[in-house]
C-alpha cells in the first residue's frame, strides 16, 4: 500500500496514533480501577470534559499565550536576522558582539524573568521579552552560520560578472543562508511556547501558564491537563507551520543529496 501521498501519510501516522489511544485507554482504566481521586490524577475522560465545560476560558487564555509567542518569536526573528547580518558584515562587530551573545546564553532565564517583571510590570511586554530572549540565540547564531557557508567561488563568479556587493548579498548570500536560518527558526519556535509559559508563571494575570497555576491551586487538575494539551498542540502546530513554510520557500532542497 504505497499509493497516493495521503494514504502514505496516513500509514505513517496510524501506529503512533494507535499507541496513543492504547495509552489513554490504559490510563482511563487504571484510574477507575485504583480509585485515585480526580484532583490527584484525572482520567482522560475528565480532561475531555474540562475541554467541553471550560472551552471559553481555555480559548481566552490560549489566545493570550499565542499572542505572546508570536510577538516574542517575531521580535527575536527581526533582531536575530539583523544581528546575524551585522556580525557577518563586520569583523569588528563580530569580535565585539559575538562573545557577548554567547555569554548571554549562560544567564539562566529563571534569574532574568523576575527582573523583567520588576522593570516591565505584569503586562504583555515581559512575557514577549522572555520569549524573544529564548528564541533570539538560535536564530542569530544560525543566521551567522548560514551567511558564512556561502560558497566563496560563487561569490567571486558574481564578482567577475561585475555584481555589486548588494547583488552578491541578495543573489548568493541570502539564499545560501536560508536553510540554516530556517533551522534556527524551527529550534526557536519549539522553545518559544516554553518561554511564554515561563514568563506567565513568574507573574501574570492571564495566559495558559497563569491558568495552570491558578487551576492547580484550586485542585482543578483536569483543567491543568487540558492547558498542557493545548500548549503541546500549540508547540507542535507552530513547528509544523515553520517546517511547511520552509518546504514552500526552499523547493530545491528536496533534490539535494549529500554529494555537494
Give the interface with another protein as residue ranges (CB under 8 A). Answer: 151, 153-154, 156-163, 167, 171-172, 175-176, 178, 250-252, 255-257, 260
Nearer to another protein, 56 or 258 (CB): 258
The least CB distance from residue 148 to another protein, in Å, is: 17
b or e along 94-128 (b: 16 or more beta carbons within 10 Å of the residue's beta carbon)? eeebeeebeeeeeeebeebbeebbeeeeeebebbb
What is 33-61 written as a DSSP string? HHT--TTTS--HHHHHHHHHHTHHHHHHH
Task: Please report how close the Cβ of residue 258 comes to another protein at its closest, in angstroms.
Answer: 11
C-alpha angle 178-182-188 in degrees, rounded to nearest 5: 145
Least distance (Å) between residue 188 CB and another protein: 22
Nearest-angstrom CA–CA distance, 39 and 82: 48
Which CA distances in Å does 70 have to 61, 62, 77, 135, 139?
Answer: 14, 12, 10, 11, 15
Of 63 and 161, nearer to another protein (C-beta) is 161
Shortest Cβ distance from residue 76 to another protein (Å)? 25
Q: Return the residue matching grid coordinates 498542540.
A: 233
Residue closer to another protein (CB basis): 178 or 201: 178
- C-beta of 4 vs 257, nearer to another protein: 257
The residue among 240 and 256 lying less far from another protein, judged by its C-beta, is 256
Q: Shortest distance, CB of residue 94 to another protein, whole angstroms?
A: 23
Amino acid at each position: 500500500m504505497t499509493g497516493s501521498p495521503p494514504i502514505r501519510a496516513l500509514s505513517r501516522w496510524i501506529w503512533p496514533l494507535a499507541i496513543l489511544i492504547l495509552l489513554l485507554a490504559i490510563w482511563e482504566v487504571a484510574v477507575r480501577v485504583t480509585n485515585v481521586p480526580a484532583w490527584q490524577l484525572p482520567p482522560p475522560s475528565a480532561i475531555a470534559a474540562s475541554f467541553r465545560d471550560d472551552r471559553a476560558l481555555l480559548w481566552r487564555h490560549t489566545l493570550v499565550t499565542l499572542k505572546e509567542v508570536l510577538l516574542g518569536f517575531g521580535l527575536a526573528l527581526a533582531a536575530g536576522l539583523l544581528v546575524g547580518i551585522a556580525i557577518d558584515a563586520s569583523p569588528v562587530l563580530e569580535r565585539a558582539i559575538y562573545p557577548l551573545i554567547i555569554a548571554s546564553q549562560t544567564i539562566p532565564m529563571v534569574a532574568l524573568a523576575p527582573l523583567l517583571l520588576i522593570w516591565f510590570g505584569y503586562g504583555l511586554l515581559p512575557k514577549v521579552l522572555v520569549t524573544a530572549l529564548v528564541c533570539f540565540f538560535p536564530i542569530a547564531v544560525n543566521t551567522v552560520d548560514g551567511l558564512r557557508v556561502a560558497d566563496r567561488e560563487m561569490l567571486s563568479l558574481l564578482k567577475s560578472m561585475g555584481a555589486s556587493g548588494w547583488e552578491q548579498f541578495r543573489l548568493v548570500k541570502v539564499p545560501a543562508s536560508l536553510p540554516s536560518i530556517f533551522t534556527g527558526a524551527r529550534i526557536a519556535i519549539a522553545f518559544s511556547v516554553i518561554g511564554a509559559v515561563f514568563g506567565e508563571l513568574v507573574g501574570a494575570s492571564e495566559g495558559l501558564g497563569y491558568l495552570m497555576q491558578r487551576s492547580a491551586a484550586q485542585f482543578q487538575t483536569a483543567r491543568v491537563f487540558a492547558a498542557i494539551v493545548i500548549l503541546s498542540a500549540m508547540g507542535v502546530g507552530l513547528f509544523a507551520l515553520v517546517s511547511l513554510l520552509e518546504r514552500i520557500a526552499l523547493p530545491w532542497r528536496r533534490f539535494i543529496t549529500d554529494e555537494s
